[in-house]
Amino acid sequence: MEKRILNPATFVFRREYAMLAVLIVLVAAFSISSDKFFSVNNFLSIVNNAAIGGIIALGMTYVLMIGGIDLSVGSVVSLTTVMLGQFLVHYPVDTWLAMLIALLTGVTVGFLNGLLVVEAGVPAFIATLGMMMMVQSVASFITQGATTSLSDFRTIVLLGQGYMGPVPIPVLLFVIATITLHVLLTRTIFGVKVRAVGGNAEATRLMGLNVRAIQYAVYTMSGLMASLAGILVAGRLSMASSQAGSGWELQAITVAVLGGTSLFGGQGTISGTFIGALMVSVLFNGLVMLGVPYFYQLVATGCILIAAMVLNEFLRKG
């Protein structure tokens, strides 16, 4: 039995507390240096900006936890907005039906990813990379490069830009998604199975569990989250565009990793991802408040990521 100086039973919690502490420090620092920072409006704005990327990151967390990866989420966002454009403007159907179709695209892409990984044995990186290219080109094909305005569709716009009382709807959806996926992971048998597959897929198989089904489920869910985010993007931009989703996949992975999810599988929490999403948003928001040019923000994100990983390594060695 190994002896450890830090009791690693609390390690997972420790990491989240550490990230939470970092978040609080950031908030404090920014509040001091800019009086516009510490306001309810601004905080709502921060969470609002974190919402869309955060929803994608939630799905990505599950995928990373079973040792996989999903590079196709950005393209799913794009395709989702495009689908909305198609079925609201060009071949109009009922708004809710259009949204359902949009969600189904994500589910389908996710399922196809699962198919490639489970049945064809293609490494997740390659499978989702190839899928990303294909989905993106399908989106470009449908739009022929043109964007479609969706500003006439109140429901969509409301979803992306509307409020329920003081709370922006994307924030609401993000929080609901976080709670749902958190409960799913920690209290349902599905969640236990996901953590089992991520921790030791072979032992899980030997115990008779259906590892393949879990893999399918996780990839499909990632696709679903991406298309949910896509609807919100369409609402926020009031537009359907084949470029709407570019870059979101790496953003989502960054957020998940910042939140403590391991790229190798087996470790990760939804609450960690939530904190990670907030952290990134706080950083961007704070820097903007300070008048720091956009470009420094990119540099800052990179540095924070490296710092977080070094901290992670340090904590692990105990």
Partner 1 sequence: MNGNDIQQRSSGIQAELGKPAFRWDRREWLLLAVVILLALLFGLTNPHFLTVENLLNILNQSTIILLVSLGMLAVIVSGGIDLSVGALASLVGVVTVVMMNDLGIPAYAAILLGLVTGGFVGLLNGFSVSRLKIPDFISTLAMMSICRGAAFLISGGYAVRTEDRLLVSLYNEKLGPLTLPIVVTAAAAILMFLFLGRTRPGRSMYAVGGNRHAALLMGIHVQRTVLLSYSICGFLTAAGGILTASRIAAGSPTAGMGWELTAISIVVLGGASLFGGQGGVLGTVLAAILLGMINNWLSLTGMAWWLQGFVQGALLILVVALNRRILSEKLSSWRSGMPASGER
Partner 2 sequence: MTEHVLELSDISKSFPGVNVLNGVNFALRAGEIHALLGENGAGKSTLVNLIGGVFPPDAGEIRIMGRPVHLKGPHDSIRNGISIIHQELSLVPDLSVAENIFLGRFPDGWVNWRKLHRQAEEILERIGLSIHPGTPVRYLSTGKQQLVEIARAIAFHPRILIMDEPTSALTEYEVQTLFGIIRRLSSEGLAVIYITHHMDEVWELSHKVTVLRDGRVIFTKDIEECTPHDIAEAMLGHKLAGERKRRLMTGDTVLEVRNLSAKGRFRDVNIRIAGGEIVGIAGQLGAGKTELIRAIYGADPFDAGEIIVAGETVKFGSPRDSILRGMYMVPENRKSGGLVLDMNVGENMTLPYLDKISRLGFLSQKKQHEIVDSYIRKLNIKTTGADKKIRYLSGGNQQKVILSRWIGMNPRILLLDQPTRGIDIGSKEEIYEIMHQLAESGVGILFVATETHELLRVCDRIYVMRDGMIVREFHGEECTEKDLALAMLGEKGA
Answer yes or no whether residue 146 interacts with partner 1 by CB under 8 A: no
Pick 166 or 317: Cβ nearer partner 1? 317
117, two tokens: 């990984």
* Whether the Cβ atoms of residue 253 and residue 150 lie closer than 8 Å to each other: no
Could you tell me if 177 and 58 are in contact, meaning their C-beta atoms sit under 8 angstroms apart? Answer: yes
Should residue 67 be labelled a site residue for partner 2 when binding is judged by CB under 8 A? no
User: Whose Cβ is closer to partner 1: residue 207's or residue 299's?
Assistant: 299
Of the listed pieces 3-11, 227-235, 250-258, 266-274, which binds partner 1 according to CB under 8 A? 250-258
What is the C-alpha separation between 46 and 39, in angstroms, rounded? 11
User: What's the angle, vertex CA 70, arms to CA 195 and CA 268, rounded to 5?
Assistant: 30
Out of 6, 188, 306, 318, the residue judged to bind partner 1 by CB under 8 A = 306
Q: In the range 43-102, which residues lie near partner 1 by CB under 8 A?
A: 71
Question: Does 271 sit near partner 2 (CB under 8 A)?
Answer: no
Near partner 2 by CB under 8 A, which window of 115-123, 146-154, 198-206, 292-300? Answer: 198-206
Compute the least distance from the CB of residue 221 to partner 2, in Å. Answer: 14
What, of partner 1, partner 2, none, does residue 302 touch, CB below 5 to 8 Å by kind? Answer: partner 1
**Residue 124 CB coordination number (10 Å):** 21
Q: Which does 1 bind (CB under 5 to 8 A by kind): partner 1, partner 2, none?
A: partner 2
Q: In whole angstroms, what is the distance from residue 177 CA to residue 275 CA?
A: 14
Residue 300 binding result from partner 2, partner 1, none, given CB thresholds of 5 to 8 Å by partner type: partner 1
| CA-wise closest residue to 273 among 63, 99, 89 | 63
| Residues in CB range of 206: below 8 A, 6 or more apart | none
What does 208 interact with, of partner 2, partner 1, none (CB < 5 to 8 A by kind)? partner 2
CA distance 194 to 186: 10
Q: Which DSSP category does 9 fall into?
A: G
In the complex, the residues that contact partner 2 under the rule CB under 8 A are 1-3, 8-9, 187-190, 192-193, 195-196, 199-200, 202-210, 266-267
